[in-house]
């Protein structure tokens, strides 16, 4: 059974509608009403319909793409980011290390910000959505 087949399962369709309704039929990051909506799995647990409701969120197709683009293309950097966050809390007396780590974080925000600007160039508040997406992505 393909993933597409699993998404056609009536149990997933029912859960999907429940999540869309819960989220007011709006993307978590972008509130346009004229864009395709997806239900994103923050965590997978068995079949799509087995996911807990709190592990599902409504995203527009562009934010969903960005989220998966980041996951697929920045996994190595994200591992480094987690290390940076840990080191930052453990070694706060080392100012030069702190400055280096902040520059790495800023570089990631700039890179992802450029991606989000491409997908939502018409939006005035893409930086806030980006900050929320990146925050949720790292805090998973």
List the alpha helices (DSSP H) in the chain: 3-7, 10-22, 61-73, 75-90, 95-119, 126-139
Encode pLDDT of 102-133 as tens digits: 666 666 666 666 666 655 554 545 556 666 77
Closest C-alpha among 24, 16, 4, 23 to residue 41 = 16
Please identify which residue in the block is written with the tokens 């039929």.
25
Break the chain into its structural domains and give their ranges: 3-139
pTM (2 d.p.): 0.57
Other beta carbons within 10 Å of 56: 20
In tens, the pLDDT along 37-52 reads: 999 998 888 889 989 9
Residue 126 near residue 120 (C-beta atoms within 8 A): yes
What does the mean pLDDT of the chain come to?
A: 75
Q: How far is CA 46 from CA 28, 41, 86, in A?
A: 24, 11, 31
Report pLDDT for 122. 46
């Amino acid at each position: 059974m393909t993933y597409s087949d699993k998404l056609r399962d009536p149990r997933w369709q029912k859960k999907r509608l429940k999540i869309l309704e819960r989220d007011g039929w709006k993307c978590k990051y972008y509130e346009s009403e004229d864009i395709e909506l997806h239900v994103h799995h923050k965590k997978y647990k068995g079949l799509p319909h087995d996911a807990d409701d709190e592990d599902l969120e409504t995203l527009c197709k562009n934010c969903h793409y960005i989220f998966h683009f980041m996951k697929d293309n920045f996994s190595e950097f994200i591992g480094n980011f987690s290390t940076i966050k840990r080191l930052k809390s453990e070694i706060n007396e080392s100012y030069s290390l702190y400055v280096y780590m902040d520059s790495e974080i800023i570089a990631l925000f700039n890179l992802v910000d450029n991606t989000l600007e491409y997908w939502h160039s018409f939006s005035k508040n893409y930086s806030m959505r980006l900050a929320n997406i990146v925050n949720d992505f790292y805090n998973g």
